[in-house]
Structure 1
């Protein structure tokens, strides 16, 4: 994103470095990459890098806290970073049925 005023323009780039997922029930998962795209050949296997499997029926509050690094550069040649900027969002999901496959 670029903003300009009075002859000065600044371009800002923000990148997520990790997301901490609080999945409810005390489980927290930290993801440092986008994850593995689903492939039908994986079937019902657990995610190899950033997944969670619920084992209890009920309502679960999920909270995601993303950590960002924000870099900026001005047309004057100045640059900078704003490290560890965080954003948090929550939602509730209801797990109504669990199946056990033997």
Structure 2
């Protein structure tokens, strides 16, 4: 099973493809270098297969590589970052 996470700027979301099928996405609003993540969805056919975690990891790794920061308004992303403190440095606020 191959998983690929890629940014889809036209739709303001990072998508995860499993064997070339769209398995899930996490949507964001760009605020300069900061991305405000509002919602994450994984297709029911792909749940409990690690797709959500792979989506979070791939998204956050790409944001880090681009020098960006995140505001995890999405509860799924917030919980993931809490469980994986190596991503905590990416979190900022809009204040």
Q: Please give the range of the TM-score, normalised by the shorter of the 2 chains.
A: under 0.3
**TM-score, scaled to structure 1:** 0.23
Higher relative contact order (CA 8 A, sep 6+): 1
* Higher relative helix content: 2
* Higher relative strand content: 1
